Amino acid sequence: MASPTEDLSHIPLETRSIITTESSDGIPFPASPIPHTHRTWARTFSSRPEVYLQPSTLPQITKITNLARRCRRRLVVVGSGHSPSNLTCTSSWMVNLDKYSRVLSIDPTTGICVLQSGIRLWQLSEALNKEGLALPSMGSINEQSIAGAISTGTHGSSLKHGLISEGVESLKIVLANGEEVFCSPTERSDLFRAALLSLGAIGIVTEVTFRAVKAFSLAWEQSIDSDSKLFAEWESKLWKQSEFVRVWWFPYMRRAVVWKADKVDENDLDTGVVKNYDPPTSFQDSKIGYFIYHNLLALARWFPRITPWVEWFVFGLQYGFGNGEMTTTRAVQPSYKAFLLNCLYSQFVNEWAIPLAKGPEALQRLAAWLHRLQPGDEGYVEHKIPFSAEGLWVHSPVEVRVSDTTVKTSGERGNRPWLDITPEDGPALYLNATMYRPYHKDPSYNATERYYEAFEWLMRDLGGKPHWAKTFAVTPDEFASKQWYGENFHQFRKVREEVDPLGMFVGPWQRKFLLGEPAEEKDRLALEEVGFEQKPAKEGGYVVTGHQNVVVA
């Protein structure tokens, strides 16, 4: 990192001059001395920020915020970039908090830990494990920062748990005015509820106070069966059989993989009655399996009709060609290992939450549409989707997970995010439609757009809302409707406007999905970034370019 002006020659002269005049305070301006290219994990989007910053202290974060305001620049905070959307892209100033990632304190008795916000979940898991603690629930990956996981509504799969943010006791945030403020369910509750799922539009989360739980291992097993059995057990058994349950559904084969896990009794581990052990290396986790599947997906870009055959072949090598007990795989692992899943290849992800009870209807209607079933065909239901599936072949699986945010959070308790996508009166089902991008190349036959158009129509018809960090096409008016967020959406926007009236944390993504386009250009916020232009990148995906608003507020 550099502070001398000559090391920042890639930064515009006017901005460089302001930075230089503020260098006498002894606080380094932690800007990269070379141009930085930001890419999403899936390489769906990339951008070249004007300044790339990695602060390691709170004074540096405060200085960055104050200088951005003086230079009339937008700020974007980024971690792993796992969202496949352009949410984290910018041509303005980008702040990465990987060097602001210390554990400030851990109380092994209460589980209360105080964390700098840039700590990645894998780093946090390691630190907690040393103290005999663990995260109560996790998603399928651990590369996100704790702030990123909170700010995008990350969740696991359990009816006894909600979002990862339900463990947050309080937050500290640097706002656009450069002030670090404290918020919790009882202090500045409105700000707390906005920051728990902020989408980068509120400020820079700097400190997280989180309640961990006693470390635990999970005894899990995974088995395969027909989706008809899945539907038959949906209400009575499927989601209640273990504390953690998740499903992968394969529509062309009409089969499902069910993964369930329960905590191992601590005494059994201590006495050796139960021992941790890993499962056998699966086909997809092996080097040769990874390579074969990747190349079959690439081949299917040119010959889409082989997609169901690829699914059958890879599914059989990964899980087995039969159903029932003969397909079962078991393991006992520490929770921070058991929760994780290999995401394999670059991918688009479109995920929505619907009421849990509507799951069988959703999957049966989607299957009927994909198979183009007619009355009298086995498995036929009236899908009602007003788009044609002719010539369309999609990837598998559809990931199926659950949560219940009503167990530990609510508006009355002041700890439910304003933008929580799950129902306020019961459990949610998450359906995650994935389309792979082999070797970072999009499907060549517009499959993703056609599939997601139909998928989103179905999700809307079933009362769903999209996961904020994934791919979707929704307008702010739809989000603000009474059928969706209603007053909660207005409350979020009210808090955002109060703490960032100039739009330092507003870019084209926030404008498109949260604020809506202004009636006139003069109504744009003074510091917002505008006008993302997208051009195909040589390595796949799109290069995104924006520019600062030139309208003076």
Average pLDDT over residues 241-247: 98
The C-alpha atoms of residue 68 and residue 529 are separated, in whole angstroms, by 12
Using CA atoms, how far residue 324 sits from 56, 282, 312, 321, in Å, is 52, 18, 17, 10
Q: Check residues 425 and 15 and name the one with the higher pLDDT.
A: 425
The C-alpha atoms of residue 223 and residue 220 are separated, in whole angstroms, by 10
Cβ proximity of 421 and 444 under 8 Å: no
3-state secondary structure 183-203: ECCCCCHHHHHHHCCCCCCCC
What pLDDT, on the 0 to 100 scale, is given for residue 449?
Answer: 93
What pLDDT, on the 0 to 100 scale, is given for residue 446?
Answer: 83
What pLDDT, on the 0 to 100 scale, is given for residue 5?
Answer: 47
3-state secondary structure of 85: coil
Average pLDDT over residues 493-506: 98
pLDDT, tens digit (0-9, with 9 covering 90-100), for 60-83: 999 999 999 999 999 999 998 888
Task: Determine what percent of the chain is predicted with pLDDT higher than 70.
Answer: 98
Q: Give Cβ neighbours of residue 294 (< 8 Å, ≥ 6 apart).
A: 344, 345, 438, 439
pLDDT band, very low/low/confident/very high, at 12 (cuts 50, 70, 90):
confident
What pLDDT, on the 0 to 100 scale, is given for residue 326?
Answer: 79
What pLDDT, on the 0 to 100 scale, is given for residue 322?
Answer: 84
Q: Are strands 428-436 and 347-355 parallel, antiparallel or unpaired?
A: antiparallel
pLDDT, tens digit (0-9, with 9 covering 90-100), for 304-316: 999 999 999 999 9
What pLDDT, on the 0 to 100 scale, is given for residue 3?
Answer: 44
What pLDDT, on the 0 to 100 scale, is given for residue 16?
Answer: 83
Would you say residue 275 has pLDDT above 90?
Answer: yes
Using CA atoms, how far residue 188 sits from 196, 416, 503, in Å, is 12, 13, 21
Tokens 């109560």 locate to 136
Cβ proximity of 187 and 415 under 8 Å: no
What pLDDT, on the 0 to 100 scale, is given for residue 551?
Answer: 54
320 Ramachandran zone, left/alpha/beta (phi>0; psi -120 to 50): left
What pLDDT, on the 0 to 100 scale, is given for residue 414?
Answer: 97
What pLDDT, on the 0 to 100 scale, is given for residue 225?
Answer: 93
Would you say residue 2 has pLDDT above 70?
Answer: no
Average pLDDT over residues 388-397: 95
Average pLDDT over residues 238-248: 98
The C-alpha atoms of residue 238 and residue 227 are separated, in whole angstroms, by 12
Would you say residue 552 has pLDDT above 80?
Answer: no
Q: Check residues 324 and 34 and name the one with the higher pLDDT.
A: 34
Cβ proximity of 363 and 253 under 8 Å: no
pLDDT, tens digit (0-9, with 9 covering 90-100), for 260-273: 999 999 999 999 99
Average pLDDT, the chain: 94
pLDDT band, very low/low/confident/very high, at 327 (cuts 50, 70, 90):
confident
Joined tokens for residue 529: 């970034």
Joined tokens for residue 57: 């202290």
What pLDDT, on the 0 to 100 scale, is given for residue 458?
Answer: 98
The C-alpha atoms of residue 204 and residue 175 are separated, in whole angstroms, by 7
Would you say residue 423 has pLDDT above 60?
Answer: yes
Q: Give Cβ neighbours of residue 35 (< 8 Å, ≥ 6 apart).
A: 10, 48, 52
What pLDDT, on the 0 to 100 scale, is given for residue 472?
Answer: 95
Would you say residue 185 has pLDDT above 80?
Answer: yes
**What would you measure as the largest C-alpha separation in the chain, in angstroms?**
79
Cβ proximity of 52 and 507 under 8 Å: no
pLDDT band, very low/low/confident/very high, at 4 (cuts 50, 70, 90):
very low
